[in-house]
Chain A
Amino acid sequence: MRRARALAALVALASLVGCQDDPPNISLLQLERGGSIDFVCLCEATDGSWSGTGMEACDPNSGDTDCSIFALVLQTNRGEIAVVDLDRNRLHDSDDRVPFTTFPHVGTFPSDMVVSLDGTHIYVVHVGEPTLAIVETSGILGPTLPEPVFVDLPAEAQSVDLTRDRSQVFLTLPFENALGRIETGVEPLAVQVLPLVGEIPAADEVPETDPDASTDADEESDAAEDVLDDVAEDLPSDVPDEDTDPGAPVTFRPVEVKVVETDGPRRVFVSGFTEDGGGGVLELDLDRLEAGDDALEAFVAIHLAGRPIAAFDVVDVSPTFSDETTTPEGRFLYAGNRDEQLLHVVDLDTGEEIDSSQSDPLVGRAIRTDGIVVDVLAVSFEDESSEGAGDYEIDPLEMRGVFVYVLTSTGIVEVVNVYDRVCWYFMTDSDPDNDPASCTPHVLRNVYDEEDSYPRWFDEPALMNGDGETITYLPTNCTGMATPCFADHDYMKPYAPTDSESRFSYGVTFFEDTPDDPLMPVIRRTVSETWGMIWEGRVPWTTGVGGNVSEDGLTLTDPGIYYCAMGVLGREMDASGSYEGDVLVIEDGPDPLDTDLDCSGYPSEGGAAYRIAGATQHTLTIERMAQFDPETDEWNSDGFDPPGEECFPFAVKYHVRASNQWIVSASETGFLHSTTIDGDGFCTDSMQACTDWNDPLDCTLLTSRAGMNATFVNPYVRFKILDNGVDAPPLTTTILRPGLAFFFAAIAGFQPLATKAATLPHSIAYSEHLDSLFISDRAWDGLLKFSPDAFTVVYEYN
């Protein structure tokens, strides 16, 4: 019906063009709403016919001049596959009898496409109709349009992949909460529905699994639900409420499927989400699926449980050089969070999520991206040298090794270093004394500020490690220093080692008009908490703790986050009697800003220490740990008052023990907010006050009450960062010297390597033979050719 209508519309359009006195002013889109991308190598026979073949025939070194590479781009609205001749840089007209450029039709609203490894067939699934379309590549160049073979499915499918020998097709059936499997060698073609309904664990921790264990046929008893039950039992007790209930049966709605057949175990990965906001990536055993097991019987592990996952890719890193012993060998899962601007990294051999946080470690251990991840692509750039380090010549700017490209909803392309061969060479091959950890894997690749600025160590900035040594906070005298030095913003007095604890407001900028004490400004006039930073020469980048910090002159801001009480969650007292994590210490009980508020009925906040039990943007959840006894001048963790109500909000000051994870830069802070009470009685931020530097408003707080252990908004917190030494007692009255938990690994720009390549991107693909990335865009109707070395768009097809 839809196809008929589209054809009718086309005919009508053609007739209009021919009959109208005044030709309509239309711009005919040729590449419209591009979706999935794949490539095919087509070779021309002597009789002029074309046939698809493996990509090796299109290798420029193969000498076969009758073969050409074509990009195939799914056009969702038109239900077509656009054929792009990459050798001639033009769109291919598959049927020149029809006006304008014509492409093969593949069904209503196709959603995903894959070309078989042998180049002979294209498999297309749709969200507009419950079919799988199979197109022979030999017909896609015309002269007439090929007729797909349609295989009926029980419901619409969203994603498709197939085995290397194309003997099996896997597709996701989101409306059926199932995975579909088709054996292509069995006629008639029929789909086996593999339900994905079971007890999905909620935590991100997955028990260690032997990747090969489940392939043993003797372990049939290791049924999926048992495995999932085991996982559920291993869950930590403090699973957030909003995560999936580990004991409840969950229907897993699949999004994307990938078949991974490497030298390691043969796997099928399925990403998805659950109705309650959970999800993850299922790892299924391909051998078991081939043997006829259903999805849960073939279950190996669930990764990133409790997190909704859409796009993902799997990368397998193997040592390239025989003399390297520290290559980050292994299998890794890169998965984009469906709801948050995060990219998760999982070590598939251990099941552990890797801490790649460059932003808020409280929010997650993932890489914060610019926008929602829409596609993930692992690329291994061939390293032409295999002679070992001794004879190795390398261009420091060249991309060699293994990288993961991330395409986000904002049109940004970013790169994650998985195995940066260039860095590895300069860090370890050239000097065995260098710390190999400096070539940090699984972090966003950053911008190099000079052509010869390859990653390498400067002297380790020990002062920045917060180990009790003097920290240099010299806003005006950084010249000649190899290490960066920090300074507060204009209105803040530079820190000196002799500063007392009264200088608690590092990183916070206030108005000047604090006549009584410029170092103790009126808190309601706080306007910013961006940090100033002064450096000499190149700016280091940070690993694990810094983040996507952008710089503008001497002001650094983190565009990925707003203000947040960031740090690491506090944990229970361990066997040694000490606490880990961040601690909120309220040293005094400041008067309420609303002087009419009677707080006499509430215990004083002064002299109380709290464990930070939860913190997100603008929020803190605290639990009282101890209180200060003025009579004994000591902190007591026993017998302190039980948690009670506080008179909130206060302008509290607190110190955070950074525990080696702390973010110092932010923008659009909670400091800019006032609070109000919404219709349900909750405190919420109100942006009506103090948002304009030039026109300060009265930010007098409204009043409300908040109980202990409740998460509340307190936009007026002030902080300083204490030493991150593990021995720093959180309850001590001795305030340690401020320190920053930065650990500088290499030099280059602070900013991640990122390029805005598209407006509403959909997919990214890599052609090894052309050494180019291709990006489809749904906003302005095109296919973009992207150079991985120049890191920019080099050609546009539309």
Chain B
Amino acid sequence: MPKRLLLAPAFVLAASCMPNSAGVSPPSDGIFFPTAASLTPDGDHLAVASSNFDLAYSNGTVLLLDLDRVETELVSGCPEEGCEPVEESQFVLEAETVRTGSFASFLETAPEGSRMYLTVRGDTSLTYLDMDPSADEGRKLTCFDREDPPRSRKCDSKHRVTSGLSADPYAITIKRQSYPHDTGGETVVDWIFVSHLTSGQVSVFEAEVNPLDRDLPPRPVLEDESFPLGVTAVELHPLTSGTFYAATRNSRSLHTFSFATDPLNFDGSTRIALGRTIPIDVLGDGHDSRDLVFSTDGNMAFVSNRSPNSLVLVDTSLDANGWPRNRTVGAVELDAGPSLLTVWSPPGWDTEWIYATCYNMDRVYVIDPVLRMAVDVILTGNGPHTLITDTERLLGYLVNFIESTISVVDLDPASTSFNDVRATIGIPEKVRSND
């Protein structure tokens, strides 16, 4: 798989205006500058979005890795010190690879659904992918007419929703809500919240879940501009039915908001109402937040901050009145370039850890939220960005952006190699910088 890797700051600027023009076709069996990944709804595959960050190809891609093969043919045979990197092509379902726009940001699977959503900065779209594990080869992952796949396997315009979406769509959060009918039955809707990296906007889309037979694309319903610049994360407080939290790059606070609508009332409008801000006052100058996640029980929120490099802990438990306490209660040091966070709660274990990727230092910090301290550090490939956890196999799949690999991490607390990189999918690429 040929790769020409040259990082240049100009690519960043090009992100928002780069057409998906004809050129060198992207490989269908390779990973190139991956930015996002997600388990498919059946849990058998890892969907990996390659961003085409150096614009070496005409498009980005989303491909599927066979996780059973990764486990049985790669990880299980690794020696104690881990396996040498292997070519990714042997684990790729090549016939399923689809082409997207360049500069993919986030990939999110709808809850219990067969859709995955991908934010793409290159064509400023919310692209959705349909997943059907039982379909014939070449039709499991589609972003086009499943019955008549195009030869290019390029996402069609229906699957790339661009209207109602401003520049640089980034993080995705999906809230599923059901609306019972007076006459019985219910309407189920996925509300899709998309943050924007370079503005103070959060966009909201509505996607039908029940009935889904109409197979409609998500419908833009709202674009709110009330947030500070650079919204990097939007998450729903698990203990509330409608309180969201947003982290931003340019604010020293977190922002809460509620979203109100009534899909049964077609004249009803949707709106976002900002709530209290939560100052990051456990840090002297806490800002440049890059991610926000909640603990499994919803009593804590965790925020990765780059100024200073730290994980901020927020008490979001409910007080006697049912209100989130929303107070920052501590900060744990991280290394340079904190990026995305993952909460890992192994099945059968009454504990959880927070995994924080540190992009600039090629490390993942493992934080014990009870002790409020780092308890381990994973040495990773170049440019770790996001970690996807697999509760079935007790593995983690770490997306290394710069070297274009996926590190497979042992996440079994009972294992002697807990938190060790067991294997690397893809041969690490050396990236030259021209600055």
Contact = CB atoms under 8 A, between A and B. Distances in A.
A682 B321 contact: yes
A158 interface: yes
Interface string B170-204: 00000000000000000000000000000000000
B213 interface: no
B274 interface: yes
B368 interface: yes
Given A174-B370, A682-B321, A779-B308, A409 B282 contact: yes
A127 B373 contact: yes
A759 B376 contact: no
B284 A759 contact: yes
Contact of A760 (B256, B281, B331): B331
B333 interface: yes
Nearest to A685: B276
Given A5-B379, A678-B243, A338 B275 contact: no
Contacts of A778: 333
Interface string A366-385: 00000110000000000000
A174 B371 contact: yes
Contacts of A760: 283, 308, 310, 331, 333
Contacts of B310: 760, 779
B283 A410 contact: yes
A412 B283 CA distance: 10
Given A679-B242, A679-B258, A756-B284, A779 B309 contact: yes
B371 A33 contact: no
Interface in B260-314: 260, 273-277, 281-284, 308-310
A763 to B, nearest CB: 13
B135 interface: no
A729 B277 CA distance: 39
A128 B367 CA distance: 11
Contacts of B374: 76-77, 109
Interface string A664-696: 000000000100111110101111100000000
Which one of A9, A341, A779 has the greatest number of beta carbons of chain B within 10 Å? A779
A778 B330 CA distance: 14
Contact of B376 (A109, A111, A240): A109
A85 interface: no
B320 A127 contact: no
Given A678-B242, A678-B258, A682-B323, A253 B370 contact: yes
Contact of B330 (A242, A409, A678): A409
Interface in A402-447: 409-412
Nearest to A688: B274
B322 interface: yes
A314 to B, nearest CB: 23
B210 interface: no
A410 B333 contact: no
Contacts of B243: 678-680, 684
A109 B275 contact: no
Interface string B327-338: 111110100000
Contacts of B273: 676, 686, 688
B418 to A, nearest CB: 10
Interface residues of A, number: 49
B241 interface: yes
A756 B276 CA distance: 28
B275 A687 contact: yes
A33 B333 contact: yes
A158 to B, nearest CB: 6
Interface in B334-364: none
A1 interface: yes
A710 interface: yes
B130 to A, nearest CB: 30
B1 interface: no
A240 B319 CA distance: 11
A362 to B, nearest CB: 15
Contact of B276 (A1, A410, A687): A687
Contact of A242 (B81, B309, B320): B320
B329 A372 contact: yes
A412 B310 CA distance: 17
B226 interface: yes
Nearest to A6: B379
Contacts of A338: 329-330
B416 A1 contact: yes
A711 B282 CA distance: 26
B83 to A, nearest CB: 15
B377 interface: yes
B268 to A, nearest CB: 16
A241 interface: yes
B310 to A, nearest CB: 6
A110 to B, nearest CB: 11
21 contacts: A5-B379, A5-B420, A111-B373, A127-B373, A128-B375, A158-B371, A241-B320, A338-B330, A340-B327, A341-B282, A371-B281, A372-B282, A372-B331, A410-B283, A411-B284, A679-B241, A679-B242, A679-B258, A680-B241, A687-B274, A779-B309
Given A128-B376, A779-B309, 6 more contacts: A1-B420, A241-B320, A371-B284, A687-B276, A759-B308, A760-B333
Q: Shortest 10 CB-CB distances between A and B: which pairs?
A: A679-B242, A778-B333, A410-B284, A679-B241, A409-B282, A779-B308, A676-B273, A339-B329, A685-B276, A759-B308
Interface of B: 80-81, 226, 240-243, 256, 258-260, 273-277, 281-284, 308-310, 315, 317, 319-323, 327-331, 333, 368, 370-371, 373-377, 379, 416-417, 420
Interface of A: 1, 5, 8-9, 33, 76-77, 108-109, 111, 127-128, 156, 158, 174, 240-242, 253, 277, 338-341, 371-372, 409-412, 673, 676-680, 682, 684-688, 710-711, 756, 759-760, 778-779
